[in-house]
Each structure stands twice: as C-alpha cells, then as structure tokens.
Structure 1
C-alpha cells in the first residue's frame, strides 16, 4: 500500500535505506571470494531481491499497481516516466538488473580487476562493491520516494482524496464541535430577536 502521509513516506524511506546498507555490506563481503565473476553474480542476485522489496515497501510493485484504478495507475506511471526510472512498477528480471548495473559499469569492471591486485586489491574491490550496490539501491529508494511524494502532493490538491491522519481527524472533530457550537448560538439568536419584536 502506498504511504498516505509524508511521515509514513519518510519512515518507509528509512527502512529501505537500512535494507540497502545491509545488502551493500553483503555485496562487499562477496568480493572476498577470489573466484572471478562470483561477486557480479551475487550482486545480480541481491538486486533481484532488493529492488522488488523496495518497490513493495513503497506500494509500487507491479502487482500492487495492477490492483489500482486506471486513473491512479496512469498518474503513477506518469510520475515514474518523468523521473526516468526503469525499475518502478516493473517485473524485476535478470536482464533488467544487468541494465541497472551497466549504469554503474565502470565501478563493476573496476572492482573485478581490483580484486586480483594483491592485498589492497580486495579491500578496494570490497569498497567499490559496497559503493556500487549502495548507489543503485539508494537511487531506487530516492526514485520511489519522489514518485510517492508527488502522489501525496497530488492527493492534497484534490479535495477528499487523501487518507486523513489521526491528527487531521482530531482537528476535524474540533472543527465539527466549533461549527455545532456556533450553529446552536445562531439558532438561539433569531429566537431572541423574535421575542424582542
């Protein structure tokens, strides 16, 4: 489900960044295995799990979007296109993950070569791996955040659509009580005016 408030959205972003940090750390650990290609395969596997998990947390997985009304789905895809994401709302495949990794291709190639430099090479490869995984993950988190933020802002422009927060509901009850109080005073006054006449 898409977060309804900016506070909920911020909480989801924090949770997703924690997920990204854990996966980036695991990615750095895979570079310590001295077999060529194992780190890249591990990165692909991790991203195939991480990217859908992020989509799901933000309410932007393909399955979640398929369940939305056409107007909402169209609005979301418009926001997705405007930020240029190729991952939000799509089925995450190996090919898609490889495309995403190609965007940071220099880092991936560098870490594969650096791994074979004695001593410092593996440390450098681990640092590059961590950085590349964190970059890809956090970029996706930021893209999802931006789409949902725009969605929340759009709902606020259209009266009646946003899900009210507990604070809004409490304020609404206070307003209703004030209106009731004012309206009861209004009905008393005409009665007093008619008595005076």
Structure 2
C-alpha cells in the first residue's frame, strides 16, 4: 500500500499538505509514546483517545475535509466529496469526531494497544516497548487517515485550503 507521500507525488500542494500533516502527526505520536511509558492503568488509552480526537480534525483541515469545510463547498462539489468519502470508506472524514469514532478507529489496532498495556509493567524494557507501540499505534492510525484524505482529495478533485487559513482555524 503506498504511503500518503507517494500518493501525493506529482501535486506540490497536496504533497505540502501531507508534509504539514505528518509533522503534526509525528509530534502527537511522541506525546503518545511518552504517555505510554507511565505505568498508570488506562492513562495511555485516555491520552491516545484525546490526541486522536484532536489530531484527526487537524489532519482533515489540512485537506479541506472537516465537516465545516465540506459544508461551505458548493452543493455539487460537496456531493463529489461525499461520494469520494464513500468510495474510500472512511468513517472519520467530514464527521464531528466523537469518542465513539475514535474508539472504533482504535479497534483496528486493538492487539497493539493490549500489548502496550501489558508491556509497560515490565521495568525499563517493557516501558520502552510500550512507548514504541504507543508511537507506532498513533502513527499508524494517523497515516491511515492521511491516506484516506489524500485519496478523497484526488477522487473529488478538491481544491486544498490555503495553509494560512488552516492555522487560524486551529486556534
């Protein structure tokens, strides 16, 4: 399966949006890794859910695919985007991100999350494994969403929002 960068190759605006989203994803995954090292039951799950509930809309915003951005499109373009979302099969694009949606996405990597819970109670090595799995899990879910966003933008031939307007929307 091609990465989001490979999928965006040839379109400089789309490639730039992927780079910005990946930078954001990397920072959040580092936070998830740090939370995974703390041996408090359930803390890392709560942190992962909180990070994902903020990260997914931020990634979507890079591509003009938040619910608000889609609502502002003209009706024909909105229909194209909705058809593309249906083709991709994403449950996260253009939706208000709720705890239930985050948990549904996390179920796809349930074994990693369970292993992370068990591993962190083994001194040092286990915490390192838990941190690695915490990073990899968030990174995997974010990259999956990134690929979905790129595919929807390409299918719908969507014009990306200007980067400056994205940073003001985040505040």
Normalised-by-shorter TM-score class = 0.7 to 0.9
Match of 2:75 among 63, 70, 77: 70
Match of 1:95 among 83, 97, 100: 100
Deviation digits for residues 37-95 of structure 1 (CA, Å, limit 9, x no counterpart): 00010000000110000111110000111111221111111111111110000000111
Q: Please say if residues 53 and 99 of structure 2, whose CA atoms lie closer than 8 Å, have aligned partners that are also in contact.
A: yes
1:175-190 alignment to 2 at 5 Å?
none
For residue 117 of structure 1, report the CA deviation from its aligned partner. Answer: 1.6
Question: Larger Cα Rg: Structure 1 or Structure 2?
Answer: 1
RMSD of aligned Cα (Å): 1.7
Counterpart of 1:109 in 2: which secondary structure?
helix
| Runs of 4+ with >2 A deviation | none
With CA pairs under 8 Å and 6+ residues apart, which has the higher RCO, 1 or 2? 2
Deviation digits for residues 89-137 of structure 1 (CA, Å, limit 9, x no counterpart): 0000111101111111111111011111222111101011100000000
1:144-163 alignment to 2 at 5 Å?
144-152=149-157
**TM-score, normalised on structure 2?**
0.84
- Name 1:107's counterpart in structure 2: 112
User: How many pairs align?
Assistant: 151
- Name 1:195's counterpart in structure 2: none
Match of 1:27 among 2, 25, 32: 32
**Which ranges in structure 2 are unaligned for 5 or more consecutive residues?**
1-9, 161-171
Pair 1:7 & 2:12 matched: yes
Between the aligned partners of 2:42 and 2:13, the Cα distance in structure 1 is 39
